[in-house]
């Protein structure tokens, strides 16, 4: 069931999203050679809690950390680890959210650790731009398929693989609400977008094949060919005046 938010609820949700966005920015600033993914998670958690909020991801479905931190060929759901030390040239995807007043934000971005290769930079730039291509289509009267098609076309035209097994989603009182928001699709298909909907749009784009696999830890998803993956995400409100990015610093 799709839950529409009132103006008052959107104001509450916007505050949770503000904290989520700030936490992501602070976590991204911690991405440096020699830093562990566990340290980055600790930085994010401390900030969220300092704002009177709680980390949405912590213990959700049993996940053991405040942030999913995925490095290089890890697509999503990387588990922070003291032994995972970043090195120059890595790309680091951080996905996190903050819960406040009964609502949650959700956002993600991929950060460069020191100098990265031109190929990595191009992948990151394409993935981030595809997010905004999708957001532009998140207008009242449009369809979920319009959003996914925009992302898919933008990335596949540039030779990248678009992950199929994992998608964006509705978000609000729960992290995962209806509807699913795939990063692929056909224009004019799927759920109609109406004011009051709040959705997380999150392209997960691979340098090579779109195929992915889950590791034995039950969480981390990687590319099957070992090539890089990037991930960007915003929580977006559908309004009468068009899409509004709630997780924008």
CATH label of the domain that carries residue 24 = 3.90.230.10
Reported residue count of the chain is 249
Please, what is the average pLDDT of the chain?
Answer: 98
CB atoms within 10 A of CB 178: 14
**Mean pLDDT confidence for 114-127:** 98
Let me know if residue 145 belongs to a domain.
yes
Assign residue 89 a region (left: φ > 0; alpha: ψ between -120 and 50; beta: otherwise).
Answer: left
What total of structural domains would you count in the chain? 1
Residue 249 has pLDDT above 90, yes or no: no
Is this model's pTM higher than 0.75 or not? yes
Let me know if residue 28 belongs to a domain.
yes
Which of 29-33, 42-46, 245-249 is predicted with the least confidence, judged by mean pLDDT?
A: 245-249
Residue 145 has pLDDT above 90, yes or no: yes
Q: Which structure tokens are listed for 199? A: 């959705």
Residue 235 has pLDDT above 90, yes or no: yes
Assign residue 174 a region (left: φ > 0; alpha: ψ between -120 and 50; beta: otherwise).
Answer: beta
Residue 202 has pLDDT above 90, yes or no: yes
How far is 106 from 245, CA to CA, in rounded Å? 11
Domain residues for 72? 7-245
Let me know if residue 1 belongs to a domain.
no
Residue 179 has pLDDT above 90, yes or no: yes
pLDDT at position 224: 98
Helix 7-29 crosses helix 37-50 at what angle (to 10 degrees)?
A: 140
How far is 173 from 242, CA to CA, in rounded Å? 22
pLDDT at position 186: 98
Distance linking the first and last C-alpha atoms of the chain:
30
């Amino acid at each position: 069931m799709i839950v529409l938010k009132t103006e008052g609820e959107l104001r509450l949700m916007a505050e949770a999203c503000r904290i989520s966005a700030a936490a992501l920015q602070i976590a991204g600033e911690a991405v440096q050679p020699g830093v562990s993914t566990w340290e980055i998670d600790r930085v994010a958690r401390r900030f969220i809690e300092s704002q009177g909020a709680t980390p949405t991801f912590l213990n959700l479905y049993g996940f053991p950390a405040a942030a999913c931190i995925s490095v290089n060929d890890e697509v999503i759901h990387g588990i922070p680890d003291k032994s995972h030390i970043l090195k120059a040239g890595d790309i680091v995807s951080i996905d996190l959210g903050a819960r406040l007043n009964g609502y949650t934000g959700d956002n993600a971005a991929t950060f460069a650790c020191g100098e990265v290769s031109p190929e990595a930079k191009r992948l990151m730039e394409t993935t981030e731009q595809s997010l905004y291509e999708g957001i532009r289509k998140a207008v009242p009267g449009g369809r979920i398929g319009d959003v996914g098609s925009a992302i898919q076309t933008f990335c596949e035209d540039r030779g990248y693989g678009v992950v199929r097994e994992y998608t964006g989603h509705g978000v609000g009182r729960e992290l995962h609400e209806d509807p699913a928001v795939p990063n692929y699709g056909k224009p004019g298909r799927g759920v109609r977008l109406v004011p009051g909907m709040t959705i997380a749009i999150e392209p997960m784009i691979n340098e090579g094949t779109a195929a992915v696999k889950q590791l034995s830890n039950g969480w981390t998803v990687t590319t099957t060919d070992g090539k890089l993956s990037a991930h960007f995400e915003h929580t977006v409100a559908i309004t009468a005046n068009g899409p509004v990015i709630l997780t924008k610093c």
